[in-house]
A and B are shown apart, each in its own frame.
Chain A
C-alpha cells in the first residue's frame, strides 16, 4: 500500500460521488422548495395525484425509475431528442445522468422535509409581512424561506446522503464508466465481483459510512447555529 490506503480509482469514485450528490441537491432543491411550499399551502383539484406521482420514486424499484428516465432522456426520448438536436447536449451515460438519477430518487425526500417545515410555519407571520406592504415574492424570500430553513437544511442533507447511496437508477441511465459515472456504490459493487472482493471493498465501505454520518452532522450543526442566531429555542 502506497501513501495512504485508498487507491487512485477509489479516490476518483469518491470525488465523483461527491460531485454527483452536490449537483443533485443544487439542481433539485429549488424545485423541491417550491413544490413543498405549494403542497403545504394550496388545496387544489388533483392534489392526491400530484402527491402520488411525486412519491413514486420512493417506492418504485430504482431500476424502474432508471428505466423510465432512460426512455425519456435517451436520444430518441421525448426529452432527450430535443436536447440532443437543438442544444447538442447528451445526458445518458455521462456524470450528468448520474446526478439527474440521484436527484430524481432523492426529490421526494427533499419535498417531504420542506413541506413539513412549511406546514409548521405560522402563516400569520406572512400575513403580517403583507400588511407591511411587502410583495408576496419578497415575503417568500424574507419570511417564509428563512423560517422554514431547518426544513431546507434537512431536505438538502437527506437529499445529499441519498444521492451518495444511489445505485439502481444510476446504473440504468449512466452505466458504470470509470471516472465518468462509476460512483462509490457502483465501485463497491464492481469490486465485489473481483477476486478477494470482500476485503478490497472494506475501505470504500468505511468511507461511505463516514460521508453519510458527516452529512448528518453538518446538517445538525448548521441547524443549531441558525437556532442560536434567532435568539434561543423560540421557534
Chain B
C-alpha cells in the first residue's frame, strides 16, 4: 500500500452540465483544493463525504475503500468517519450548542474531557446553552468546526472555512485550525479559492480548473505556478511573505526573509516569532545595481524567474525569487529601460508602510 492518506479518482456529471473528472492523492497533514469557483472543489468534498455518488472511479481513505464503482463497493456517509464543515455551517437550529457539539461524539463515556478540550480550544464556553440562531457567523463557524472535530474523524473536510469572515476572525480561525491540527493530529482537506489562506494553511495543494486537476504538489511551488497561469485575471497575484525570527529592534520589529533582513510596520503580537506579510505587486519597486541612501526600508535581492506581459495593458508582472517568490508590477517601458529578463539579478524595494502584517 502507498502512504497516501486519501486517493481520489472519480468522474461525476451533474445532469447534462458540469463534469468533474479528477484524480489526485493527498499525503497526511493539511491539504487544499484550490481553484476558482465552479471548478469542482465542493463536488470533490461531497464525493469524499459520500453525499454524492461518482459515476465512475474509486476513493480510498488510508486502507479503506469508500467507494469503488468498478466492484460496486459503497460505504454510506455515516460510516465514513469523515468530519465535514460546511460553508454555511448547517448547525441544527433546534438544538443548543452543547447538543450540536455532542451530536457526533463517537464515545459518550469519555466524561466530557474531549468536549472540554475542544470548547477551550475554540473558546466556546460562553455559547454552550444558546441556540445557533443567537450566534454570529464567526461563532457558528467555530461551533461547526468543533462539532466536526468531536466526531473524531480520520479526515476533516472543510468547504471555504474562512470565506465571508472579517480579517480578525479569519486570523483567529486559522490559528484554531493550526492548533487543532497540532494538538489533535487531525489531517485536513480544505476547499479554498483564496491564495492567502492556502499559503498559510497548506502543505499540499491540488489545483482544479473546470473539473480537472491541472496541478498538484507542495503548497508554495504549486501556488506560484497556479498564479502564473491565472495572472491576467482578477485579482492577480498577492504577495504573502513569510517572515521568521521576528524580534523587537528599538521602536519597530524586524525579521528575516530567506536570510535577508525585513522591517515590519504595525503592531505585532508579542509572542509571535513568525508572521506573514502581505503586499501588492504594485507596491514593490525594482532596482538594478546598488542603492546608497533611500527611505524604503526593505531591500530583498533575488533573481527574476518569470516575466509576463499583460496584453493590451502596458504593464508586466515580474516574479522575483528572493528565497520566496515576490510578484512585482512594472510598466512595459520600465521593463524595457531596465532590461528586465529572466535570470537578471535585481533588488526588490518594499516600503514597510506598504505592507500589511496578517499574523
**Chain A residues near B (Cβ < 8 Å):** 122, 124-125, 127-136, 139, 142-143, 146-147, 229-232, 234-235
Contact = CB atoms under 8 A, between A and B. Distances in A.
B139 to A, nearest CB: 13
Contacts of B88: 124
Nearest to B152: A133
Determine the main DSSP class of B at the interface with A.
Answer: loop
A234 B133 CA distance: 6
Given A133-B106, A143-B92, 4 more contacts: A128-B84, A131-B80, A131-B82, A230-B133
Interface residues of B, number: 29
A230 B94 contact: yes
A132 B104 contact: yes
B94 A131 contact: no
B148 A235 contact: no
Interface of B: 49-51, 76-84, 86, 88, 90, 92-94, 103-104, 106, 130-134, 147-148, 151
A139 B76 CA distance: 14
A187 to B, nearest CB: 42
A131 B49 contact: yes
Q: Which of A122, A125, A139 has the most CB of B within 10 A?
A: A125
Given A131-B82, A133-B106, A231 B51 contact: no
11 contacts: A130-B51, A130-B76, A131-B50, A131-B78, A131-B84, A132-B78, A132-B151, A133-B79, A133-B81, A134-B78, A231-B133
Contacts of B79: 133
A218 B88 CA distance: 35
Given A230-B93, A235-B93, A128 B86 contact: yes
Contacts of A142: 103
Contacts of B84: 128, 131
B92 A127 contact: no
A131 to B, nearest CB: 4
Q: Which of A127, A128, A130 has the most CB of B within 10 A?
A: A128
Nearest to B86: A128
Given A231-B131, A235-B133, A127 B93 contact: no
A130 B133 contact: no
A127 B51 contact: yes
A1 B133 CA distance: 56
Given A128-B86, A231-B134, A133 B94 contact: no
Contacts of B151: 131-133
A142 B103 CA distance: 10
A134 B93 CA distance: 17
Given A131-B83, A131-B84, A235-B133, A146 B103 contact: no
Contacts of A132: 78, 83, 103-104, 147-148, 151
Contacts of B131: 230-232
B93 to A, nearest CB: 5
A135 B49 CA distance: 15
